[in-house]
Chains A and B, each alone.
Chain A
């Protein structure tokens, strides 16, 4: 069974600085998708960025980018020029590309605080 691990329960960053959130996963599959979701205090789940396992190029969305290391099964999220609105819980998630189910497997989350 696949698992997702986020080893940093909490992180803090100064406004305008850069922070990296860690995520590792375990799978025997070769094709899959990885996601980072943001959950602000409103609890709404917001997709931040996504990556297909067969793509070697790291995904980028404005200030958000990932460092995808397939061999190491690592998928970290880098937030550049941090803003106060980035403060939230961040969840890493895995989805298999095969099989009948499309379920997402989530990590336990990292709570990011942004200091003014």
Chain B
């Protein structure tokens, strides 16, 4: 059973370009979470999606960031007009609600975004 997949693992962009980060949840999981880890910091929640719906985007910056989780295909985190401050590791996690009370989230390996 493949785990959470993220690609690319490393992404380099110049200021002003767009970054697209992809996340394929574990098989059978319909809930996806995105977290950002700035250098020397812990993970910060960004957005929580269920298939075709955004459930909680309270941690998402208001501008330039968007996320989707279509009916078919991976979840996409999109960052437009990247700036140096967007350089970070972006982690995706997935779970299936109700399987256990813990609703444990399984994490992908992360995408490290570097903005030049």
The interface of chain A, by Cβ under 8 A from chain B, is 6, 33, 37, 42-47, 50, 52, 91, 95, 100-109
Whether the pair B45, A105 counts as a contact (CB closer than 8 A) is yes
Whether the pair B42, A109 counts as a contact (CB closer than 8 A) is yes
Q: Does B107 have its Cβ within 8 Å of any Cβ on chain A?
A: yes
Within 8 A of A (CB), among B44-99: 44-45, 48, 55-56, 58-59, 89, 91, 93, 95, 97
Query: Smallest CB-CB separation from A109: which chain B residue?
Result: B42
Within 8 A of A (CB), among B94-116: 95, 97, 101-105, 107, 109-110, 112
Query: Smallest CB-CB separation from B46: which chain A residue?
Result: A103
Whether the pair B107, A50 counts as a contact (CB closer than 8 A) is no
With most chain B CB atoms within 10 A of its CB, the pick from A42, A44, A102 is A102
Whether the pair B110, A52 counts as a contact (CB closer than 8 A) is no
Q: What class of interface size applies to chain B in its complex with A?
A: 20 to 34
In the assembled complex, 14 residue pairs joining A and B whose CB atoms fall closer than 8 Å, in A order, are A6-B42, A42-B109, A43-B109, A52-B101, A95-B103, A100-B56, A102-B103, A103-B33, A103-B45, A104-B33, A104-B105, A105-B45, A106-B43, A109-B42
The interface of chain B, by Cβ under 8 A from chain A, is 31, 33, 35, 41-45, 48, 55-56, 58-59, 89, 91, 93, 95, 97, 101-105, 107, 109-110, 112
Q: Which residues of B contact A95 (CB under 8 A)?
A: 103
Q: Which residues of B contact A101 (CB under 8 A)?
A: 48, 55-56, 58
A44 to B31, CA, bound (A): 19
A95 to B97, CA, bound (A): 14
Whether the pair A106, B42 counts as a contact (CB closer than 8 A) is yes
Whether the pair B48, A91 counts as a contact (CB closer than 8 A) is no
Q: Which residues of B contact A91 (CB under 8 A)?
A: 42-43
Q: Which residues of A contact B93 (CB under 8 A)?
A: 45, 104
Q: Which residues of B contact A102 (CB under 8 A)?
A: 31, 33, 48, 95, 97, 103, 105
